[in-house]
Structure 1
Amino acid sequence: MKLYNYFRSSASFRVRIALALKGLDYEYHSVHLAKGAHKLPAYTDIAVEGLVPLLELDDGTRLTQSMAIIEYLDELHPEPALLPANALGRARVRALAQIIACEIHPINNLRVLKYLSKDLKVDEDTKNTWYRHWVRSGLESFERQLASQAPSTYCFGETPTLADCCLVPQIFNGQRFNVDFSGLPRTMAAFEACMKHPAFQKAQPSACPDAEA
């Protein structure tokens, strides 16, 4: 398999975590978003959305959208499972994952931040305030959801799930923007548990071939 991704892309990071948890090997292909590589013909010719990540299977089939890719991998390689065995558990995990993937990430990804700066002429401090506000607000919702559940090591249960694949990249990116993580005990405990796991260490940005100093 080939994974077209960018080391700082949280959506790419999610897929790298899933691949590492599954113990699956892949070729790492860097698409440098900050330099506009995703807009060049070399990439748009194979990625109709012009986004990362893109997973190319051994037969040449190409999959996009991190959540769809992760669920595909989970169905094809069911151990270790990233979704619970029961329907209610799967709904809980998907809800947690979607707080991040659908509520927080879409309004704070790189192309949105660039639009704020370049097109709307928002200054750097205001842009960063925007970012911190929406990440903090979303994580407060995430924390309330965790608090409504039984205590667990990870976001849901005693093994990493799709929710953890989403949480960790969001915390990493939030750290870059100095988001306030205080008062989020369950959220940060889950993050810390994940970062003790070898798969999360292997997938983190600093371990990527295209990581910048």
Structure 2
Amino acid sequence: MAALKLHGFFNSSASYRVRIALGLKGLPWEHVGVNIRTGVQNGAGYKALNPAGLVPTLEDGSARITQSLAIIDYLERLQPAPRLVPEGGTERNRVLEIASLIACDIHPLNNLRVLKTLTGSLGVSDAQKNDWYLNWITQGFDALEAWLSDEGDFCVGDAPTLADCCLVPQVANAQRMKVDLSAYPRILRINDQCLRLAAFADAAPNRQPDFVAG
């Protein structure tokens, strides 16, 4: 199988989710860096690939898939084992609930382009920006903590799922923003257990070719 190409950014949590999924699936892939801090995603070259100007974008031959959850769904069909979304039942419901909570409710409000808009054209102070971030991470993590069990290594069931692919990058974002997560022992326990697995450790931002400290 030819290597897949993942256009992403080391610190993008959406790219991070997909990197974890690729690792769990054991699929070969090639990293193509897109520096969203310097605006590469808004250039004509990248927008010809992804008109939304967002990362990640997955290339598989002539196929181009954007949006992290759509990409992971594609990977699920490309390589069905191990399954990241249970086929049915309450476990499937909970995996999709958690993934949607993180990817659709928390992350979009706290991603780089939103935070830049707050401190840029809207003139919000850094302190107010941090309050904004804390508000949405707290609301989301309060709900997520209530959904999780006091036992087990993963969000749902006894193996990593799409929920864990979404959780770990969101925890990393919160830690980077210096959010106190001590109120979320279940989230922290699962995050720590996931990071012991190679697929999660290898996907970490500081393990990527385009990593820049600071």
After TM superposition, the score normalised by the length of structure 2 is 0.95
The whole-number CA distance in structure 1 between the counterparts of 2:124 and 2:88 is: 46
The whole-number CA distance in structure 2 between the counterparts of 1:198 and 1:146 is: 23
Q: Is the CA contact 1:3–1:54 (under 8 Å) kept in the aligned structure 2? A: yes
**Residue 119 of structure 1 aligns to a residue in which SS?**
coil
Letter of the 1:55 counterpart: L
The whole-number CA distance in structure 2 between the counterparts of 1:117 and 1:167 is: 26
The whole-number CA distance in structure 2 between the counterparts of 1:87 and 1:49 is: 34
The whole-number CA distance in structure 1 between the counterparts of 2:23 and 2:182 is: 29
Query: What's 1:27 paired with?
Result: 30
Query: Is 1:122 matched up with 2:124?
Result: yes
The whole-number CA distance in structure 1 between the counterparts of 2:29 and 2:203 is: 12
Query: What's 2:200 paired with?
Result: 200
**Residue 37 of structure 2 aligns to a residue in which SS?**
helix
Deviation larger for 190-199 or 77-86? 77-86
Letter of the 1:99 counterpart: L
The whole-number CA distance in structure 2 between the counterparts of 1:76 and 1:88 is: 24
Offset at 1:130? 0.9
The correspondence for 1:100, drawn from 92, 99, 102, is 102
Offset at 1:85? 3.2
The whole-number CA distance in structure 2 between the counterparts of 1:182 and 1:140 is: 12
Post-superposition Cα deviations, 1:60-103, rounded to whole Å, max 9, x if no partner, equal 21001101111111122111111123232211100011111111
Post-superposition Cα deviations, 1:132-170, rounded to whole Å, max 9, x if no partner, equal 2211221111001114xx732100111100000000000
Letter of the 2:112 counterpart: L
The whole-number CA distance in structure 1 between the counterparts of 2:123 and 2:34 is: 26
Offset at 1:57? 0.6
Q: Identity of aligned pairs, percent?
A: 47
**Residues 87 and 75 from structure 1, CA distance in 2 versus in 1: closer, same or farther, beyond 3 angstroms?**
farther
Offset at 1:33? 0.5
**Residue 81 of structure 1 aligns to a residue in which SS?**
coil
After TM superposition, the score normalised by the length of structure 1 is 0.95
Letter of the 2:135 counterpart: H
**Residue 45 of structure 1 aligns to a residue in which SS?**
helix
The whole-number CA distance in structure 2 between the counterparts of 1:186 and 1:2 is: 34
Offset at 1:30? 0.5
Q: Is the CA contact 1:20–1:199 (under 8 Å) kept in the aligned structure 2? A: yes
Q: Is the CA contact 1:2–1:28 (under 8 Å) kept in the aligned structure 2? A: yes
The list of structure 1 runs, each at least 4 consecutive aligned residues, that deviate by more than 6 angstroms after superposition, is none
Can you give the 5+ residue segments of structure 2 that lack an aligned partner in the other structure? Answer: none
**Residue 49 of structure 2 aligns to a residue in which SS?**
coil
Query: What's 2:45 paired with?
Result: 42
Equivalences, count: 210
Letter of the 1:113 counterpart: L
**Residue 12 of structure 1 aligns to a residue in which SS?**
helix
Offset at 1:125? 1.4
